[in-house]
Amino acid sequence: TKTKTYAQRAKDHPNTAAKQLLETIDRKKSNLCVSVDVTRKANFLAIIDLVGPFVCLVKTHIDIIEDFDHDLIEQLQVLSKKHDFLIFEDRKFADIGNTVSLQYSSGVHKIASWSHITNAHPVPGPSIITGLASVGKSLGRGLLLLAEMSTKGSLAVGSYTEDAVKMARAHKDFVMGFIAQQRMDGVGAEGGSGTEEEDFLILTPGVGLDVKGDGMGQQYRTPREVIVESGCDVIIVGRGVYGNPNALDVDGVRRQAERYMKEGWKAYLERIGEQ
């Protein structure tokens, strides 16, 4: 899949959310996901409206918003249609199947009702997938497993990562890919078997062009390192795009979103050999 185009992959993909994401990437010529980690509804919606034209996907941490209400979700959905992007709630579920199914469907946020994509830590084992699938599968949602993390000292390495990939392979109907730092093709596959037909999307956080870290364990790589050298599919950028949310620089946000979109697309063209 590393040298296939997004459009080719969209055509064949069995997972609805993955197909939609690949089609959106191809249509908008953007493999940029902006992570909008701000705590005020007004800022959240303002940033999404600014970056909307440049992204395939908007990533949320809905539980950090202080003045959350249902109007916020309605407006998020309006922006998703206006600008043609999908929504990814970065919930990082990590509990037993019964609990995650409730956290996904219910509570204040009712994530499954509006988020096309969500993610989970594989740490509880396969029951976390079946628990989430019991809610999300019939809605056409997609799940990403966290096979690796971007942070210094991450424990998600080696056999943990391999086992995450094996869990995903056993649930391809609902698991559409990974949060990871590199392609997972062939990882954990005995004798290299059974991986030819799989197409897991790799969405990669820890992307920045101007700094290498944030002083709190985050580590940044460039879009080229992520897309070309590591073969990932989507770059996830947060603070690199929106800067300081309390002093929102409207032109700056637009400029950075466009810059990351262009860098991400240039890297993709290089990877598939079109440049």
Q: Which residues ranging from 237 to 266 are in contact with ligand UP6 (CB under 6 A)?
A: 237-240
CA-CA distance, 72 to 74, in Å (whole number)?
5
Catalytic residue among 41, 92, 110, 172: 92
Select from 20, 35, 80, 115 the one that contacts ligand UP6 (CB under 6 A): 35
- With CB under 6 A as the contact rule, which of the stretches 47-55, 62-70, 232-240, 245-253 interacts with ligand UP6? 232-240
Running DSSP on this structure, what letter comes out for residue 213?
B
| 92 noted as active-site residue | yes
- With CB under 6 A as the contact rule, which of the stretches 160-168, 225-233, 235-243, 260-268 interacts with ligand UP6? 235-243
Answer yes or no: are the C-beta atoms of 50 and 253 closer than 8 Å: yes
| E strand segments, the chain | 32-36, 57-60, 86-93, 117-120, 142-146, 175-179, 201-204, 234-237
CB of 7 to ligand UP6, least distance (A): 27
Answer yes or no: are the C-beta atoms of 199 and 15 closer than 8 Å: no
For ligand UP6, the closer CB: 137 or 221: 221
Inter-helix orientation angle 70-83/41-51, to 10°: 10
Q: Does 177 bind ligand UP6 (CB under 6 A)?
A: no
Q: State the catalytic residues.
A: 90, 92, 95
- The binding site for ligand UP6 (CB under 6 A) comprises 35, 37, 61, 90, 149-150, 179, 205-206, 214, 218, 236-240
